Amino acid sequence: MFDRFIVSHQAGSQRLDRVLRARYPQSGRQAIQQLINRRQVQVNGRIVWLASWEVKHGDAIAVLAAPEQLPDQPGRFDPAWLIADEGDLIAVDKPAGLLSEPKRGLDRPSLLQLSHERFGPLTLFHRLDRDTSGVVLLTRGGTINALLAQAFQARLVVKEYRAVVAAPNRLAASGVIDAPLRPSQRRRDCMEIAEKGGQRARTRYVVLAATAARAWVRLFPETGRQHQLRVHLSALGAPMLGDRLYGVAESAPRLMLHAHRIELPATIFGVARAYVAPLPAGFEPASDSFLTK
């Protein structure tokens, strides 16, 4: 038993997830959702697995396991994050656990906010999920935004991610995952593969190495749908380690997904430019792995 308490609000009923978020402010919404999904919460002695369950004043809540806490947040921009400052464009290496941009209702720092304090007004040209690390592009405005938008729309920008995924799985040595995505019918914070309709989503991959329990993969998204890489790999039995939404959060200390490299075409600066975020610990194949062809 981790915690036991009595609900003490007078104004009608409240959703269970909101009560728990108020009780554990250092845990994020997803961590509270996971706690409920895994049937680790009891209300008046009954296990409850609905986040929307209405609890009333005087209800007894028992939490059977500790909710995951959000990682410590930086208070200022770390100079080590800077990859390049091209004047109109800045490339940074976002750490895992830091929001890309402010989120309504969540008083947490973001990369955009911290970068603004360091460099002045900036636009976040694209974003990464909070738990994903790696290259993010910010701009100071002007024609650079139009040039980048044209390059992305024409698919002239090459993005490479690195991931560590569960094994055994159904990944070939290399391949293409072409599966449309849609919002999940079961969880509003998730995506899923659409049997009909949906938005087109296409990912190229190469398996670098593997052991009996994990594999190291290069990923090249050709479209940019929400959670695309995480959903595509999970669908082939290869969820990313540490993935709290599509895998097992406890399998790694963080989501093992890293935006390693972005290559811009010559249409931006006259010559092609590549920005690389060094691989964090654990993203290089282990010594006991075998290389794939």
Per-residue pLDDT 10s for the chain (293 aa) are: 789 999 886 567 889 998 998 888 778 777 888 899 889 999 999 999 998 999 998 899 999 988 887 766 788 999 999 999 999 999 999 999 999 999 876 668 999 999 999 999 999 999 999 999 999 999 998 899 999 999 999 999 999 999 999 999 999 999 999 999 999 988 878 999 998 899 999 999 999 999 999 999 999 999 999 999 999 999 999 999 999 889 988 899 899 999 999 999 999 999 999 999 999 999 999 767 776 64
Query: How many structural domains does the chain have?
Result: 2
CB atoms < 10 A from the CB of 10, how many? 6
Q: Are residues 248 and 190 in the same domain?
A: yes
- CATH number for position 135: 3.30.2350.10
Residues in the chain: 293
d(CA 28, CA 70): 6
d(CA 95, CA 78): 10
Burial (0-12, 13-18, 19+ Cβ within 10 Å), 180: middle
pLDDT value at residue 293? 46
Residue 49 sits in which domain range?
3-63
pLDDT value at residue 11? 62
Residues labelled as active-site residues: 129
- CATH number for position 30: 3.10.290.10
pLDDT value at residue 89? 97
Q: Are residues 15 and 133 in the same domain?
A: no
Which is it for the CA torsion 185, 191, 193, 195, positive or negative? positive
Find tokens 């398996």 and name the residue. 207
Q: Which of 234, 232, 253, 255 is nearest to 243 (CA)?
A: 255
pLDDT value at residue 289? 72
The SS3 call for residue 99 is: strand
Tokens of 19: 């009560």
Cβ atoms 128, 196 nearer than 8 A: no
Q: Are residues 176 and 55 in the same domain?
A: no
User: Kindly report the CA angle at 34 between 11 and 59, in degrees rounded to 5?
Assistant: 30
User: Kindly report the CA angle at 124 between 264 and 162, in degrees rounded to 5?
Assistant: 55
Which is it for the CA torsion 160, 161, 162, 164, positive or negative? negative
